[in-house]
Amino acid sequence: MAEGSREMPEGPCFLYGNHSNRWDPFVLNCFTPWARPTAGVMTREFFRKPFLRWALGSLDLQPTRKRIAEPGLVRAVKELLDRGEKVVIYPEGGSRWAGRPEPWIESTAKIFMRFGYPVYPVIMHGSYVTWPRWATYPRPGRIRVEVLPAIQFEEGGGVAEALQKLKAPIRMDENVVEDDLRPSWAHKPAHGIQKLLYRDPVTRKYKGLVSRDGTMVINLDRSLRLTMLPDSRLLNDTTGEIQTTADLYEQIRAVPFEPDSEGVYLRDVAEVSMEKDFPRLSKPRLMSVKLTGDSVLLGNGRDMEVVALERVQAIDIERNYKLQLALADKMVQIAFTGQGSALAWMNALSQFSVASTPAP
């Protein structure tokens, strides 16, 4: 269920806000005239299939690679505004993993300042607790949409000042919500949790936390037993303490990755695809993937491909399981369809200062 706290603004403008639920853009459009849905940008992962490419294009949604400069996209956004459209942009580059602010794509602030159209913050209350990014299943609940007054930029002000103003309205912890927005029931609320909590906080073992029934979260030696509540908080069955998934995630990610005896920081089996010409993506191949201090190794033996980290221009995660490495001549997509975690790889790669890697 969605409800709004005030009407949408009239005329062309920017709308931006927190984004934790994959349905946020559609919820937002519940409060716009049915014949004039919002326009905006969307990761080009959704534009691969011809029908979706046509459907999304007909809604004035523009494909983007995020974190890579795209002058053509900037021009397309300007044209949408000049035609009178409301343009939605999520400046953190995707949905939040744990309901807390993610690093901004700072060029978004420059676009907001440059074009001179009103910029409205929109808060989605209840977004994270109704369907976290990592979770397989949604939780029945309510989302409250709050449109705030337009941000006023000082004449002659810099980007740093603008960023401070833009971030402030959506700098909230979405794990903390009003009681009427908390789901009271959920189907297998812990299913998918290993995508976020990819390490046992006790032993530090990668893939050390599991949920076999979708409700209980345990480590491999059963010394830690947590019950996932419908709102994604975790109840420690031993101590009775309740903590948020965000707190436990921050505890896990604070521990740096260490190499094993072979110099490998992470190893998994994943589906690997290549893209040399968008939207065509090669057929996925199941293979071994390893991360060393200077390379990502794909496959084994003679067929192994070495992707030097110095060649990587940008890294991002699509959906909640597809790690994408943007190189000058192609994009490598590594899909962790099993127990592996794309987020773990993202955080491990951040240790090596890979270009355009979002800070963990």
- Please indicate, yes or no, whether residues 136 and 29 belong to a single structural domain of this protein: yes
Q: Assess if residue 184 is contained within a domain.
A: no
pLDDT for 218 equals 97
Query: How many domains does the chain divide into?
Result: 3
Average pLDDT of the segment spanning 305-319:
94
Q: Is the pLDDT of residue 80 over 90?
A: yes
Separation between Cα atoms, residue 16 and residue 166, nearest integer Å: 9
- Please indicate, yes or no, whether residues 101 and 150 belong to a single structural domain of this protein: yes
Average pLDDT of the segment spanning 9-15:
93
User: Mind listing the pLDDT tens digit for each residue in 262-284?
Assistant: 999 999 999 999 999 988 999 99
- Please indicate, yes or no, whether residues 24 and 164 belong to a single structural domain of this protein: yes
pLDDT for 178 equals 93
pLDDT for 263 equals 96
Q: Residue 13: which domain range?
A: 2-178
- Please indicate, yes or no, whether residues 106 and 245 belong to a single structural domain of this protein: no
Q: Assess if residue 223 is contained within a domain.
A: yes
Q: Is the pLDDT of residue 98 over 80?
A: yes
- Please indicate, yes or no, whether residues 63 and 173 belong to a single structural domain of this protein: yes
**Can you spell out the DSSP letters for 62-127?**
EEE-SSS--HHHHHHHHHHHHTT-EEE--TTSS--SSSS-----THHHHHHHHH---EEEEEEETH
H-helix or E-strand spanning residue 331: strand 331-335
- Please indicate, yes or no, whether residues 234 and 319 belong to a single structural domain of this protein: no
Q: Is the pLDDT of residue 6 over 70?
A: no
Q: Are 170 and 101 a contacting pair, CB within 8 Å?
A: yes
User: Mind listing the pLDDT tens digit for each residue in 117-160?
Assistant: 999 999 999 999 999 999 999 999 899 999 999 999 988 789 99
pLDDT confidence tier of residue 260, bands split at 50, 70 and 90: very high
Q: Assess if residue 241 is contained within a domain.
A: yes
Q: Assess if residue 357 is contained within a domain.
A: no
pLDDT confidence tier of residue 50, bands split at 50, 70 and 90: confident
Q: Does the CA dihedral 61-62-65-66 come out positive or negative?
A: negative
Q: Assess if residue 356 is contained within a domain.
A: no
Average pLDDT of the segment spanning 338-345:
95
Q: What does the mean pLDDT of the chain come to?
A: 91
pLDDT for 34 equals 59
At position 224, the amino acid (one-letter code) is: L
Separation between Cα atoms, residue 143 and residue 216, nearest integer Å: 26
- The answer to which of 36-50, 59-73, 122-136, 313-327 has the lowest mean pLDDT is 59-73
User: Mind listing the pLDDT tens digit for each residue in 158-209?
Assistant: 999 999 999 999 999 999 999 999 999 999 999 999 999 999 999 999 999 9
- Please indicate, yes or no, whether residues 111 and 145 belong to a single structural domain of this protein: yes
pLDDT for 29 equals 85
Q: Are 21 and 130 a contacting pair, CB within 8 Å?
A: yes
Residue bearing tokens 């060649």: 311
**Domain limit, last residue, from 178, 205, 238:** 178
Separation between Cα atoms, residue 29 and residue 80, nearest integer Å: 17
Determine the number of helices (DSSP H) and then strands (DSSP E) in the chain.
8, 19
Which CATH number is 91's domain given?
3.40.1130.10
- pLDDT above 70 covers a percentage of the chain that reads 95
Average pLDDT of the segment spanning 8-23:
93
Going from the C-alpha of 253 to that of each of 176, 243, 300, the distances in angstroms are: 21, 16, 29
- Please indicate, yes or no, whether residues 164 and 20 belong to a single structural domain of this protein: yes
Task: Tally Cβ neighbours within 10 Å of residue 208.
Answer: 20
Q: Are 104 and 92 a contacting pair, CB within 8 Å?
A: yes
Q: Are 266 and 345 a contacting pair, CB within 8 Å?
A: yes
CA angle 192/130/36 to nearest 5° reads 120
- Please indicate, yes or no, whether residues 54 and 101 belong to a single structural domain of this protein: yes
- Please indicate, yes or no, whether residues 220 and 322 belong to a single structural domain of this protein: no
pLDDT for 360 equals 52
Of the candidates 322, 342, 235, the one whose C-alpha atom is nearest the C-alpha of residue 281 is 322
pLDDT for 357 equals 66
**Domain limit, last residue, from 123, 155, 178:** 178
- Please indicate, yes or no, whether residues 228 and 320 belong to a single structural domain of this protein: no
This prediction has a pTM of 0.92
Separation between Cα atoms, residue 124 and residue 143, nearest integer Å: 6
**Domain limit, last residue, from 133, 155, 178:** 178
Separation between Cα atoms, residue 340 and residue 207, nearest integer Å: 7
Which CATH number is 311's domain given?
2.30.29.30
Separation between Cα atoms, residue 60 and residue 58, nearest integer Å: 5
Q: Assess if residue 185 is contained within a domain.
A: no
Question: Is 287 or 38 the better-scoring residue by pLDDT?
Answer: 287
- Please indicate, yes or no, whether residues 231 and 136 belong to a single structural domain of this protein: no
Going from the C-alpha of 247 to that of each of 37, 97, 172, the distances in angstroms are: 36, 12, 14
Q: Assess if residue 358 is contained within a domain.
A: no
Q: Assess if residue 228 is contained within a domain.
A: yes
User: Mind listing the pLDDT tens digit for each residue in 215-256?
Assistant: 999 999 999 999 999 999 999 999 999 999 999 999 999 999
Residue bearing tokens 């939040």: 96
Q: Does the CA dihedral 235-236-238-240 come out positive or negative?
A: negative
